[in-house]
Amino acid sequence: MKELGPALVILLATLIISTFITEFTFNFGLKAVWKTLFRFLRLSLLLTLPMFLLPGICSVMERVLNRGKRYLIHVHDDRNIAVRPLKNWVVRPIQGIGLVMLMATKLLAFLEIYTGSRIALDTVLPPGRFDPGRFFSSIAIGIVVSVLLSFLWNLDDLGIRHYNRKTREVRMIGKYIGLLVPIFFGFYGIISLFENNSQLLVAKYVAQMAVILYPPFVVFNVLHSRYLKSREEVFLKRLKAISGGVLPDDDKALASSTV
């Protein structure tokens, strides 16, 4: 429960503000209680359930990454499965939110091209009624983001690196810093799509969306760390990663550093 502390604090603050003070995260009054809790549970499940596809995904990706003179190695010193405040409460939730924003931006840009008209701000905001298009679009985005991030987090936390026997380069595949660019373009893309609206108003709505998404992403990445810890050997077996200690002698030193 302590590991989920920030998510619960943000969720509780959202409930108090939305119920007793003012409209926040697009709800107000007593209905905000059940709507906020239902939304939190729905998004948390949407992000977490695809995580159980990881063993199969690892088996498929192993065939792609272990080819020719390129193969995966396991650098045990880089293993980092523990839940840490900076990683699990700050970087990874923001990563996920930025990636969702980026994918939503691409989807909205496609709709603009398809319809030949500008997307209104109302298209992004919750409509207050069930909308099948929005519902299935959100499910698709959630599944893609969940699978992509959980796979990359697996590689990063397990200390998996991609080794090129020909060039003797050892590269990080899932290091979280490599996903900070989508975070920037995700937030900027959503705001820039609505340049005809007040930038302050758009920024306000985007901030509220980030508050909505933060607790589910904390739950998702913390549960991912627990799941990975319980299935570590399974994932290493599925990825067929070679231990850095059993590389040829002239490669061992290189496996201890990354490019």
**Residues 110-155: pLDDT tens digits?**
666 666 666 555 555 565 566 676 778 888 888 999 998 999 899 8
What is the per-residue pLDDT for 254?
Answer: 45
What is the per-residue pLDDT for 196?
Answer: 61
Domain ranges of the chain: 45-255
What is the per-residue pLDDT for 174?
Answer: 57
What is the per-residue pLDDT for 132?
Answer: 74
Which regions in the chain score pLDDT beneath 50? Answer: 177, 249-250, 252-259
Tokens 């987090």 correspond to what residue? 153
Closest of 190, 174, 11 to residue 91, by C-alpha: 174
Rounded alpha-carbon distances, angstroms, from residue 76 to 82, 155, 234, 246, 252: 14, 12, 16, 12, 13
CB 202 within 8 A of CB 121: yes
Structure tokens at 189: 């893309």
The sign of the dihedral angle between the CA atoms of 72, 98, 135, 14 is positive
Instruction: Specify the pairing of strand 70-74 against strand 160-164.
Output: antiparallel
Q: How far apart are CA 21 and CA 234, in angstroms?
A: 49
Q: How far apart are CA 40 and CA 5, in angstroms?
A: 15
Indicate the pTM of the whole model. 0.82
* Helix intervals (H) in 159-241: 180-193, 199-230, 232-239
Amino acid at 128: G
